[in-house]
Structure 1
Amino acid sequence: MSNTETLVFVGDSLTQAGDWASWFPDDDVVNLGVGGDTVADLTERIGDVIAARPDSVVLMIGTNDVGARRSVEQVVRGIENLMVVMRRELPGTRLLLQSIAPRQAEFAARIKDANRHLRQFSSTVRAQYLDLWPALAGDDDALRPEFSDDGVHLTAAGYEAWLAELRPGLERLRDEPPMSRPLTVIDSSYEID
């Protein structure tokens, strides 16, 4: 029996530029990253995610919203709404919500605030949360210069740093049973001494 899963990556240009199929060759990978996407853009195309009927969804969105000066509340509520829709429409799918990636230092406080809210929210929709901030941000809270040429998009080294966090994150995600699978109760007698 094959262990191949349908693994859907969803997000903006950071996701779109990833070579997910070669990085996860044992899975049926679908890359639904679209350059320039905001939370609102992804909300409009959420049907594509649902139509893929994935075993697991890996989501990262929000940096373009922050760059467009949308409020933390707008960004967080939009992502929360996306997660609720995915959970409702894909009850058996494992969800991995990744933190909004760091970018230029001027955006750090707002991104960190949004990520704090998203981390707290993720468990309410039975999603796992993967914090990429420690791996990608420098001491000044900006995206590390060796990981980007423009302060937003990732270099090969940036993707390697992301993958170093994502691979174990996906292993933990896959250790979880699908969300709609009923629990098995073992009926065995035991004695208490």
Structure 2
Amino acid sequence: MSTSAKTFPIWAFFSLLTNGVLLLAVILLIWQQQKLTAFFGGIITSPEQINVNNSGPVAIPAIPDLGRRHQLSYQQWVDILKQEAKVAADRRPVHLTILAGDSLSLWFPTELLPGGKNWLNQGISGETSKGLLKRLNIFDRTQPEVIFVMIGINDLIRGIDDKVILDNHQQIMSYLRRVHPTAEIVVQSILPHGGEEATWQGRDKLLAITNNRIRRLNEQLQSISAKKGVKFLNLYPLFTNTQGNLRQEFTTDGLHLNREGYIVWRSALQIYSDIELKPEIQRVSGRDKK
């Protein structure tokens, strides 16, 4: 047996297997959805229409409408998230699931979030890993079943060193693991950007970050997650084109996602939860009842 075979970590093998299954499942799901949409063209008139809780078709805008929140200052945002977390802590909804991160999480349309869960969105536009680390205590009193974390792209845009980003991620993982010992903590990979096709107002800053650097950073995040006993959801390959950039059909400006992008993310969350999280959650729930 070769040296490389001996040193290949077992967690990496299972991670590759899980993410490979996830990638295939999402691709098949999207392909099937496109076929159904084409076949039932007279019933489903556009991709904006989806069925939410059997309540009929709901229109999802190309760019999510944040309403008043879009004009809030950072501190005002934090104050609102505190209030929402307090409500969740007091009411203790079943199957509480938290989204923690930046604008990508913030703009996730509630209509597109996987069903069967009570979602608490703790995203803030422009958030960095340091900022998220500082405000994790906001939802200390909640009792989440799962916490999904995606953070880092704003760090890169601001020129923060990879070592600092990784250190902040380690602290985020350690904090969440300590404060929420029964919750499944899932770190999600940083998404690629649109490269030369990006139209975001900070395009020059995006172009200064290579998607290869983001990919390598994700590989390091995956390794750290395994060592910290935290799960890692690699969304990166679901969103890249043949050049390794964010696919145009999934983005509004090369940085943020449109409805199609969120449908892909939703599918990944749903499939990953069914494959990777449900057995763990059921095991923990069964242990708690003993």
TM category (shorter chain) comes to: 0.7 to 0.9
Q: Mapping of 1:27-38 within 5 angstroms? A: 27-38=117-128
What residue in structure 1 maps to residue 39 of structure 2? none
The alpha-carbon deviation at position 26 of structure 1 amounts to 1.9
1:24-103 superposed matches below 5 A: 24-103=114-193
- Matched to 1:173, the amino acid is L
Instruction: Judge conservation of contact 1:91–1:179 (CA < 8 Å) in 2.
Output: no
Counterpart AA for 1:109: N
Shift, 1:124, TM fit:
2.1
Letter of the aligned partner of 1:78 in structure 2?
N
Q: Distance in 1 between matches of 2:256 and 2:231?
A: 24
> 1:136–1:147: 8 Å Cα contact kept in structure 2?
yes
Q: Secondary structure at the match of 2:140?
A: helix
Question: Aligned partners of 1:180, 1:118: CA distance in 2, in Å?
Answer: 25
**Mapped contact 2:162–2:217 kept (Cα < 8 A):** yes
Of residues 149, 160, 173, the one that matches 2:252 is 149
Q: Deviations over 1:109-152 (max 9, x none)?
A: 22112101111111222221110111011122211111112111
CA RMSD of aligned residues (A): 2.3
2: CA distance, partners of 1:122 / 1:116: 10
TM-score, structure 1 normalization: 0.85
**1:154-185 deviations in Å (ceiling 9; x for gaps):** 0001111112222111222122147977979x
For 2:139 and 2:240, the matched residues in 1 are separated by 29
1:37, distance to aligned residue in structure 2 (A): 0.3
Q: Which runs of 5+ in 2 are unaligned?
A: 1-92, 196-206
- Identify if the C-alpha distance between structure 1 residues 178 and 79 changes in structure 2 by more than 3 Å, giving closer, same or farther: farther
Matches of 2:116 and 2:287 in 1, distance apart? 27
Separation (CA, whole Å) in 2 of partners of 1:97 and 1:110: 18
Provide, for residues 44-82 of structure 1, a one-character-per-residue CA deviation record: whole Å limited to 9, x for no partner: 111123232211101111111111121111111111110
Select between 125-134 and 175-184 the one with higher mean Cα deviation: 175-184
Counterpart position of 2:265: 162
**Residues 154/135 of structure 1: CA separation in 2 closer, same or farther (3 Å cut):** same
How far apart, CA to CA, are the structure 2 residues paired with 1:31 and 1:160?
17
Structure 2 residue aligned with 1:115: 218
- Which deviates further from its counterpart, 91-100 or 49-58? 49-58
Contact 1:60 1:100 in 2 (8 A): yes
Contact 2:194 2:248 in 1 (8 A): no
| Aligned residue number for residue 190 of structure 1 | none
| Aligned position for 1:174 | 278
- Off by >6 Å, runs of 4+ in structure 1: 178-184
Q: Which has the larger radius of gyration?
A: 2
Query: Does the residue aligned with 1:176 lie in a helix, a strand or coil?
Result: helix
The alignment partner of 1:31 has SS state of strand
TM, length-normalised to structure 2:
0.58
Deviation, structure 1 residue 19: 2.2
